[in-house]
């Protein structure tokens, strides 16, 4: 991803490797060599920087999408609840069996609790998750005719559903941009980029909704997640290879300009 000039200039070879102790992430507001405070950024400058970040993410991750396997909004809801503290790949393994037996709210609500626990055990936190997905399925049957509702307010009445899960279901399942999905990748990377200083998912979401146009609310989360897996990896971000380094408040100084062409 580096441009050829940067590769041949020797700049990368002379620059010390960007490594921090595993428990120390970059401070978005300081220069990592001198610890000098960066100049304060105006709201309009931050908005302009956010637009450039979104543009480059679109170039580099044109096909980003939800990686949870599902065939209906109901299955997406259940898979998203199961994905807490678990990889999507593991959830997809588990839901193959789960959805074969309980692929609708009615069918899942009828499954014995022990059977559900056995199937989802490997996703972790299986007691809470069993309670949540059975509770959600039963409430969907009793209150919503077995159909996943399409409003944030109604989704939040389901056991195990907070704004992140509701935003996934609304955005991916119904193509409704009501908010921004804030998971661990999104909160970490948008913090490093200096797009938000908020500490809670709700406040981070509010900041991002102000900065991003609504037509980016759904897809931007998938792109941040892909960036978190490929480049801005937790505890060892690959800033020297990052196409956002010149727009990132946590990038080490003096990195050569990134190649943002998507090549
Ligand atoms: S430059 Fe890129 S990899 Fe480094 S902290 Fe910023 S977004 Fe993450």
Tell me: do 192 and 227 sit in the same domain.
yes
Tell me: do 58 and 188 sit in the same domain.
yes
Whether residue 163 is contained in a domain is answered as no
- Predicted confidence band of residue 23 (pLDDT cuts 50, 70, 90): very low
* CATH assignment of the domain containing 241: 1.10.1670.10
Q: Which residues contact 141 (CB under 8 A, 6 or more apart)?
A: 105, 106, 109
Tell me: do 180 and 263 sit in the same domain.
yes
Whether residue 201 is contained in a domain is answered as yes
Tell me: do 250 and 185 sit in the same domain.
yes
Tell me: do 256 and 234 sit in the same domain.
yes
Whether residue 127 is contained in a domain is answered as yes
Whether residue 119 is contained in a domain is answered as yes
Tell me: do 184 and 241 sit in the same domain.
yes
pTM (predicted TM-score): 0.82
- The question of whether 164 is a catalytic residue gets the answer yes
Whether residue 157 is contained in a domain is answered as no
Whether residue 203 is contained in a domain is answered as yes
End-to-end CA distance of the chain: 7
How far is ligand 1, taken at its centre, from the CA of residue 82, in Å?
Answer: 29
Share of the chain above pLDDT 90, in %: 79
Compute the distance between CA of residue 158 and CA of residue 168 in angstroms, rounded to an integer: 14
* Boundary residue ending a domain (147, 166, 192): 147
Tell me: do 184 and 259 sit in the same domain.
yes
Taking only the tens place, the pLDDT of each residue in 207-230 is 999 999 999 999 999 999 999 999
Ligand 1, CB within 6 Å, residue ranges: 26, 189, 192-193, 231-232, 237-239, 242, 244-245, 248, 250-251
* Boundary residue ending a domain (98, 131, 147): 147
Taking only the tens place, the pLDDT of each residue in 148-185 is 999 999 999 999 999 999 999 999 999 999 999 999 99
* Residue 255 pLDDT exceeds 90: no
**Average pLDDT score, the chain:** 87
Q: Which domain holds residue 97?
A: 73-147
Sign of CA dihedral 232, 237, 238, 244: positive
- The question of whether 183 is a catalytic residue gets the answer yes
Give the pLDDT confidence score for residue 137 in this predicted structure: 98
Whether residue 53 contacts residue 244, with contact meaning beta carbons closer than 8 Å, is answered with yes
Q: Which atom of ligand 1 is nearest to the CA of 255?
A: 1
Tell me: do 241 and 118 sit in the same domain.
no
Taking only the tens place, the pLDDT of each residue in 78-115 is 999 999 999 999 999 999 999 999 999 999 999 999 99
Say how many domains are in the chain: 2
How far is ligand 1, taken at its centre, from the CA of residue 138, in Å?
Answer: 43
Mean pLDDT (whole number) for 231-250? 95
Candidate list 129, 183, 207, 226, residue with the active-site label: 183
Whether residue 155 is contained in a domain is answered as no
* CATH assignment of the domain containing 87: 1.10.340.30
Whether residue 18 is contained in a domain is answered as no
């Amino acid at each position: 991803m580096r441009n050829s000039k940067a590769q041949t200039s020797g700049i990368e070879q002379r620059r010390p490797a960007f490594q921090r102790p595993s428990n120390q992430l970059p401070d978005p507001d300081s220069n990592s060599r001198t610890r000098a405070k960066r100049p304060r950024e105006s709201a309009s400058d931050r908005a302009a920087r956010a637009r450039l970040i979104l543009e480059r993410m679109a170039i580099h991750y044109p096909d980003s999408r939800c990686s949870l396997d599902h065939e209906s909004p109901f299955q997406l809801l259940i898979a998203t609840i199961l994905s807490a503290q678990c990889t999507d790949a593991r959830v997809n393994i588990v839901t193959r069996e789960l959805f074969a037996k309980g692929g609708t709210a009615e069918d899942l609500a009828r499954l014995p609790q022990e059977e559900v626990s056995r199937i989802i055990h490997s996703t972790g936190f299986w007691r809470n998750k069993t309670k949540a997905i059975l509770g959600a399925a039963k409430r969907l049957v009793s209150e919503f005719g077995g159909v996943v509702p399409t409003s944030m307010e109604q989704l939040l009445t389901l056991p195990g559903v907070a704004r992140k899960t509701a935003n996934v279901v609304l955005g991916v399942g119904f193509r409704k941009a009501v908010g921004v999905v804030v998971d661990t990748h999104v909160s970490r990377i948008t913090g490093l980029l200096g797009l938000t200083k908020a500490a809670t998912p709700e406040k981070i979401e509010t900041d991002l909704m102000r900065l991003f146009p609504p037509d980016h609310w759904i897809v931007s989360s998938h792109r941040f997640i892909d960036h978190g897996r490929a480049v801005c990896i937790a505890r060892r971000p690959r800033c020297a290879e990052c196409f956002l380094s010149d727009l990132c408040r946590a990038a080490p100084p003096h990195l050569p300009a990134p190649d943002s062409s998507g090549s």
